[in-house]
Amino acid sequence: MAASGLVMIGYLVLHMYGNLKMFAGKVTGTDVYAFDEYAEHLRTIGEPMLPYAGLLWVVRIVLLAAILVHMWAAFTLWARDRKATGGAKRYANQRAIQRSYASYTMRWGGVLILLFVIYHILNFTVVVIDTAPGATSPFVRVYNSFKNPAVLISYAVAMIAVGLHVRHGFWSAFATLGANTSPKTRAFWNTVAVLLALILVVGFLSGPVAIALDWIKL
């Protein structure tokens, strides 16, 4: 679970970097959005050794494998815990006190994130949910999507869930990998986890919020 989680966090950091291209406007001297140029660049990396979008599909397959492994590990841990406790709830109140909010919401937060990922793919990757009919520009599709308040709110909720998941998961991953050796080390990795979660949430939300407030325009 730790390794698969770190793979997904690495992807989130790269994805956030790409999303921040929303603020770059159009490429100087052209009518092409920097966001679209970056999206096209991702599809041409590796050519001609790889086919068009070849490396992008490799990344998608690796990411899908990481998600499936992560889900399997999460279910296995849940089943093991349930078996160990016999499904009893007599200690539920005590456990609830001991858990942090992020830890308590890991399971259902993960479900929420999965549902959001499915919607995200349908909207921006395969374009089954088309918010900009006829548009070939990824930036125009993104712009039109976040002009819809319902999409913006659901995205914000999903990103907050991602932040909580990353904060707890990143710290737990390093604890699993042997970094949980002293109070000082635990405090260090907890601080890193909090900062990483905040950076991701702010980074992912900044573009959509700027679009909604007309700070970013077509």
- In the chain, % helix, strand, coil (3-state, to 5) comes to 75, 0, 20
| Contact indicator for 42, 18 with CB cutoff of 8 Å | yes
* Tokens found for residue 69: 């492994």
Q: From CA 119, how far away is CA 12, in angstroms rounded?
A: 17
Percentage of the chain exceeding pLDDT 90? 60
Q: Does residue 212 surpass a pLDDT of 80? A: yes
- pLDDT single digits (tens) 102-161: 556 677 888 899 999 999 999 988 889 888 787 889 999 999 999 999 999 999 999 999
Residue 91: the pLDDT is: 47
Residue pair 34/24 in contact (Cβ under 8 Å)? The answer is yes
Domain for residue 93, yes or no?
no
- Residue pointed to by tokens 């990481």: 66
How many domains does the structure of the chain reveal? 1
Q: Helix 149-174 vs helix 183-212: angle between axes, to the nearest 10 degrees?
A: 170
Q: Could you tell me which of 11, 105, 142, 116 has the C-alpha nearest to residue 64? A: 11
Question: Which residue would you say has higher pLDDT here, 95 or 66?
Answer: 66
Name the more confident of 200 and 190.
200
pLDDT at 89 over 60: no
Domain that holds residue 134: 1-87+98-213
161's CB contacts (< 8 A; 6+ apart) are: 105, 109, 112, 113, 116
The answer to the question of residue 10 being in a domain is yes
The answer as to whether 151 is a domain residue is yes
Lowest mean pLDDT among 22-31, 68-77, 157-166: 68-77
- How many Å apart are CA 44 and CA 50, to the nearest integer? 9
> Closest Cα partner for 58 from 45, 73, 68?
45
Is residue 21 domain-resident? yes
Q: Is the pTM of this model over 0.75?
A: yes
157: Cβ contacts below 8 Å, ≥ 6 apart: 112
> Which of 63, 18, 60, 22 has the alpha carbon at shortest distance from 41?
18
CA distance 75 to 81: 10
Amino acid identity at 129: I
CA dihedral 161, 166, 167, 172 (to 10 degrees): 130
Per-residue pLDDT for 33 more than 90?
A: yes
Instruction: Give the pLDDT mean for 187-214.
Output: 96
- The reply to whether 218 falls in a domain is no
The answer to whether the beta carbons of residues 193 and 166 sit under 8 Å apart is: yes
Question: Would 184 be classed as within a structural domain?
Answer: yes
What pLDDT sits at residue 132?
78
Across the chain, what does the average pLDDT equal? 87
Residue 92 counted as domain residue:
no
**Dihedral of CA 113/21/136/216: which sign?**
positive
pLDDT for res 85: 64
